A and B are shown apart, each in its own frame.
Chain A
Amino acid sequence: MSLVIDVQNVSKHFGKATAVNQVSFGVEKGQIFGLLGPNGAGKTTTIRMINHILNPDTGHISILGEAVSPKSQERIGYLPEERGLYKKMKVFDQLMYLAQLKGLSQTAAKTAIEFWLDRFEASSWKKKEVSELSKGMSQKIQFIATVAHDPEIYIFDEPFSGLDPINSEMLKEVILEEKNRGKTILFSTHRMEQVEQMCDDICLFNQGKAVLQGNLQSIKQSFGNNTVLLDFIGDSEFLNQLEGVRVNNRSTNFAEIRLLEGASPQHILEIAMKHAEIQRFEIVQPSLQDIFISTVNDTKVAV
């Protein structure tokens, strides 16, 4: 199956700093692809290169089988992390301008914009300047600017940041709806629960490198049932005596314990029973949060 977005061995330097280092990943048609990673990991730079805003120093990016170009830009709907519109321009004029810059004819742009304004119950704002709109309203207009030219690919950089719960829910709905229409979606985020709910494949960035990637479910499985959830009553001091484990999450009477090489869950249970009253003992797959943190920490140690 041919890849919709194909990133191969891409690197980008800014002066002496390496923002993206030999990154490769591919996004298949109709997928929702999550780009994860801490701040400064190189996600936005990668997204800008896919959008042909920046050029990679080395490596190659192709969109729908062709190298990135002004042509490929027209097939992508891009919502940048930092949103912005012309404050002094009327909503309708602004949307017309942005849609035509994406290659739409005047009539096609008009039809599409009217459809979306109607859909978001925003038709009455047409003649308003953006500076008159509330934050939630301008977020909707921003979103229309991203989708009006009906692109095959959507790229959202931190789409949920700064959204109120209503707009956040609306955006999620639209993303899933567009996926069902066969569109391909790539977004970057910090919010793990959204990734777990929506993404098919993920790629985890750290310090400019893609440190972990693939299908979300297989990644979780590959970590195996290596996590112990423990509810207990009593002194939590015993957790410090455990060997071959890492305690990811602990509170007065709860602990999420990650088993490292050679550690046995039965041994943990044994020790725990000596020191506290056990109310729950469960062996599960790691959470994405845990995978994220431990992978990031592992790569830090490696560097």
Chain B
Amino acid sequence: MINFSKIWLIIKREYKTRVQTKSFMLSTFLTPLLILGIIGLLIFITVSSTDNEAPKQVIVIDETGRMFEPLRQLNANRYIPISASQSVDQIRDLIMEDELDGYVFFDQTFLSEGTPATFVHNGSGGITFFESLRSDVRDVTRQIRLEDNEVSEEVIAIFEERPALENRRLNETGVDEQSNAFLSSIGGILIGVFIFIGLFGYGAILMRSVIEEKTSRIVEIITSSVKPIELMLGKLLGVCLVALTQFSLWIATYAGVTILAAPVAQFFINQRMGDLQNSLIAVDAKGTAANVPSDIDLSFLEQFSIDPLFILYFFVFFVLGFLMYSSIFAAIGAAVDSEQDSQQFMTPVMLPIFLGYMLNFRIAEAPDSTLAIMASLFPLTSPINMVTRMLVSNVPFWEVILSILLLILSLIGMLLLAARIYRTGILMYGKKPTFKELYKWIKQA
């Protein structure tokens, strides 16, 4: 009994009036710039493993007489000797004036009795600096002990061994590919935030538009032509299409950038190599060009590409989640006369969305924990959490299907409840209804 051609008219209006606004254009074209910035930052983080901070300087007060030399050999810039005239107090003054980053004190009994060494510093450098200092001290100490105990070369070699562990993730087609757990966790968190903002932002847009139709009284004219449920469905689908349009544009931009990134980067690198080689050839006719690395590995850029199947799932979960949450937003908009009045009803709706958002960080860390599985199946959080989980880990197919089914069921339930509140609410003016009254509206046949 639902008139689809009229719903189509409503969808068209909702879509057109939104897509043609300046704010839509702005947010659509500015957000890719933001994404570009984030990608740039991620590439920067991945590529530049060496930090170009000024080297830290640490004075070594070595009462054992054996620690300083090996440390200096490890890092001559960092470890400097104490000069004969310096007292500890003078060194402390230097540290307080930021002339020096710190000093390490090895007691006479450090090697013999294992008295702890002390690191006194001005607080700069942070945890990574402290960790690298500790590992230097540990390495040197181990080296000395090995020598003292006249351990054979073979054993020393065993200790120096650093077995490599390559991180490769097996994908659906059975091909193992380079995996970067850090990157996919970040991606998982970002995509979750993306859906969270989408659910919230577009839900709020929809609610505002319902309130506007109600307060401007146009709703009475519309309902003299179509059923309230038709109006509500048309609005939901229209706003949903706007969101999908925006997301598609963004994904297209992102895909374009990641596909183009490798060739473009390669082009610039080659050009620089060429310049370098030319200049070298100019200097030395025989060519030391062989010393210049001929290629730089850009395969890490592939990690930024998105699987089309994942995009499909992303859309499925977003659309279902959006329709479920926004039908409630529409009902709230219909029940109240102004946005201020909506606050009281918003709180219970916002809680599960926020829950999903908060859980997201845990799920990116431990995508296969019981908590993660529950959150990605529970319909109120699955639109956010399942998508994150799918990006971070390989989710069994049946879990995805079960999650979609549960989501569809609760979507239908929410739609039916919301439609009843909506139908009564849009024609009620004046007093803000209580939860009890909303319940009555739902019960009315």
Question: Which residues from chain A sit less than 8 Å from chain B, CB to CB?
Answer: 15, 48, 51-54, 70, 73-74, 76, 78, 80, 82-89, 97-98, 100-103, 145
Q: Other than the known A52-B224, A89-B17, A103-B225, what 11 A-B pairs have Cβ atoms closer than 8 Å?
A: A48-B220, A53-B223, A53-B224, A70-B226, A73-B225, A78-B224, A84-B220, A85-B218, A87-B216, A97-B9, A101-B6
List B150-207 residues whose CB lies under 8 Å from chain A: none
B90 proximal to A (CB < 8 A) = no
Top 4 nearest A-B pairs (CB, nearest first) are A84-B217, A101-B225, A84-B218, A82-B217
Could you say which of A80, A88, A102 contacts B220, with CB atoms under 8 Å apart?
A: A80
Given contacts A76-B224, A101-B6, A101-B226, contact A53 B217 (CB under 8 A): no
CA distance A25 to B333 in the complex (A): 36
List B1-30 residues whose CB lies under 8 Å from chain A: 3, 6, 9-10, 13, 17
B311 proximal to A (CB < 8 A) = no
Q: How far is the CB of B12 from chain A (nearest CB, A)?
A: 9
B221 proximal to A (CB < 8 A) = yes
Tell me if B225 and A88 are in contact (CB < 8 A): no
Could you say which of B17, B213, B223, B440 contacts A15, with CB atoms under 8 Å apart?
A: B440
B145 proximal to A (CB < 8 A) = no
Tell me if A48 and B225 are in contact (CB < 8 A): no
Tell me if A102 and B217 are in contact (CB < 8 A): no
Tell me if B220 and A98 are in contact (CB < 8 A): no
Q: Which residue of B lies closest to A102 (CB)?
A: B225
CA distance A22 to B314 in the complex (A): 55
CA distance A48 to B219 in the complex (A): 12
B227 proximal to A (CB < 8 A) = yes
Given contacts A15-B440, A70-B227, A89-B17, contact A101 B220 (CB under 8 A): no
Could you say which of A15, A48, A86 contacts B427, with CB atoms under 8 Å apart?
A: A48
Task: Note all chain A residues with C-beta closer than 8 A to B221.
Answer: 78, 80, 84, 98, 145
Q: How far is the CB of A42 from chain B (nearest CB, A)?
A: 15
Could you say which of B13, B216, B219, B224 contacts A51, with CB atoms under 8 Å apart?
A: B224
Q: Which residue of B lies closest to A77 (CB)?
A: B224
Dominant SS at the B interface?
helix
Given contacts A53-B224, A53-B427, A70-B226, contact A100 B218 (CB under 8 A): no
Q: How far is the CB of A16 from chain B (nearest CB, A)?
A: 11
Q: Sample 5 A-B pairs with CB under 8 A, ordered by A number.
A: A15-B440, A76-B224, A86-B216, A97-B9, A101-B222
Task: Note all chain A residues with C-beta closer than 8 A to B17.
Answer: 86, 88-89
Question: Which residues from chain B sit less than 8 Å from chain A, CB to CB?
Answer: 3, 6, 9-10, 13, 17, 212-213, 216-227, 427, 440
Task: Note all chain B residues with C-beta closer than 8 A to A53.
Answer: 220, 223-224, 427
Task: Note all chain B residues with C-beta closer than 8 A to A98.
Answer: 221-222, 225
Tell me if B427 and A54 are in contact (CB < 8 A): yes
CA distance A98 to B221 in the complex (A): 8
Given contacts A54-B427, A84-B218, contact A100 B3 (CB under 8 A): no
Given contacts A48-B427, A54-B427, contact A82 B9 (CB under 8 A): no
Task: Note all chain A residues with C-beta closer than 8 A to B227.
Answer: 70
Q: How far is the CB of B19 from chain A (nearest CB, A)?
A: 14
Task: Note all chain A residues with C-beta closer than 8 A to B3.
Answer: 70
CA distance A51 to B222 in the complex (A): 11
Task: Note all chain B residues with C-beta closer than 8 A to A80.
Answer: 217, 220-221, 224
Task: Note all chain A residues with C-beta closer than 8 A to B224.
Answer: 51-53, 73, 76, 78, 80
Given contacts A89-B17, A97-B9, contact A84 B223 (CB under 8 A): no
Q: How far is the CB of A50 from chain B (nearest CB, A)?
A: 10
Task: Note all chain B residues with C-beta closer than 8 A to A15.
Answer: 440
Q: Which residue of A lies closest to B10 (CB)?
A: A101
Task: Note all chain B residues with C-beta closer than 8 A to A145.
Answer: 221
CA distance A73 to B227 in the complex (A): 10
Could you say which of B6, B219, B225 contacts A84, with CB atoms under 8 Å apart?
A: B219
Tell me if B226 and A84 are in contact (CB < 8 A): no
Most buried by A among B216, B219, B220, B223: B220
Task: Note all chain A residues with C-beta closer than 8 A to B216.
Answer: 84-87
Q: Which residue of B lies closest to A88 (CB)?
A: B17
Q: Which residue of A lies closest to B429 (CB)?
A: A82
Task: Note all chain A residues with C-beta closer than 8 A to B9.
Answer: 97, 100-101
CA distance A83 to B224 in the complex (A): 13
CA distance A51 to B221 in the complex (A): 10
